[in-house]
Structure 1
Amino acid sequence: MSAVEAAAGLQQFLVLRYHELKRRLVQRLGSDEVASDALQETWLRLSTRRVADTVSDPWHYVFRMAVNASIDLHRSANRQLSAREVDELLELADPAPGPADAAASQAELEALVRVMREIPERRRNILLAVRVQQLTQPEVARRMGISLRLVELELQKAQAHCAARLGR
Structure 2
Amino acid sequence: MSDSGFKGLRDLLTRSYADLKRRLTLQLGNADLASDALQDIWVRLETHKDTPEPVQHPLSYLMRMATNSALDKIRSEKRFLRGEEVELIFESMSDPAPGPEQVSQARSESERLLLAMEQMPARQRRVLTLIRVDEMSRQEVADYLGISVSLVDRELKRAHEFIVEKMR
TM-score category (smaller protein): 0.3 to 0.5
TM-score, length-normalised on structure 2? 0.46
TM-score, length-normalised on structure 1? 0.46
